[in-house]
Structure 1
Amino acid sequence: MLTLTENASTIVKTLVDQTEPGDDAGLRFSQEDPSAGALTVTTAEEALPGDAVVEHDGAKVFLDETAAVALGDQVLDASVDQSGAVQFSIIPAAAPTA
């Protein structure tokens, strides 16, 4: 399942708090147009039926079925550039050590 870095958790909480009221709100990754191949990222008031929900330090991320498969064992990181734009990065999760 997708995990979040501390930076990603902080940025997700900030984005959601600025745009969506309520404790159930989160950031949603979905594939609106299957022919496009890219995932869409939006804030959402709540998870939709069928969404996988990832929570980390109060940040909520909702993944539709396509996003849940695509982001399976990945790590979501985030940063803010000098102009204030948010940049999300997907990093492969480290393999567990034996």
Structure 2
Amino acid sequence: MLTLTENANEIVKTLAAQVPGSEDTGLRISSTNAENTAFSVGVAEAPEPLDLVVESEGARVFLEPAAAVALDDKVLDATLDERGSVSFAIGLAD
């Protein structure tokens, strides 16, 4: 199952908190090509019906089915640059 670094946990929670009125908000990752080598990331108010939900220290990540398979043994990391832009990176789990 996808795991999140401490940085990713905090950034996902911060992004979700910017959507007022929804306690189910999280980060949704979907696959954008048939080979599952490119992904789309965005904030979603709730998971889609077939999404796998990963919860980590209060952060919620929704994985569409193809992305869930491709990211099963991966780690999600995130950084915030000096302008406030978020970057996500996917690495291999230890």
Superposition TM-score, scaled by structure 2 size: 0.90
User: Are positions 1:57 and 2:52 aligned together?
Assistant: no
Tell me what 2:91 maps to.
Answer: 91
- Where has structure 1 moved over 3 Å in runs of 4 or more? 32-37
Superposition TM-score, scaled by structure 1 size: 0.86
Q: Which runs of 5+ in 1 are unaligned?
A: none
Which residues of 2 match residues 44-83 of structure 1 at below 5 A?
A: 44-83=44-83
Q: Distance in 1 between matches of 2:92 and 2:12?
A: 19
Q: Distance in 1 between matches of 2:20 and 2:71?
A: 24
Give the 3 Å change call, closer, same or farther, for CA 46–74 of structure 1 in structure 2: same
Aligned-residue CA RMSD (Å): 1.8
Letter in 2 for 1:31: S
Tell me what 1:24 maps to.
Answer: 24
Q: Secondary structure at the match of 2:18?
A: helix
User: Are positions 1:15 and 2:20 aligned together?
Assistant: no
Give the 3 Å change call, closer, same or farther, for CA 47–20 of structure 1 in structure 2: farther
Q: Is the 8 A contact 1:31 1:64 kept in 2?
A: yes
Give the 3 Å change call, closer, same or farther, for CA 90–58 of structure 1 in structure 2: same
Q: Distance in 1 between matches of 2:70 and 2:5?
A: 18
Q: Distance in 2 between matches of 1:60 and 1:88?
A: 15
Tell me what 2:42 maps to.
Answer: 42
- In the TM superposition, residue 19 of structure 1 has moved relative to its aligned partner by 2.9
Which has the larger Rg? Answer: 1
Q: Distance in 2 between matches of 1:74 and 1:35?
A: 16
Give the 3 Å change call, closer, same or farther, for CA 36–68 of structure 1 in structure 2: closer
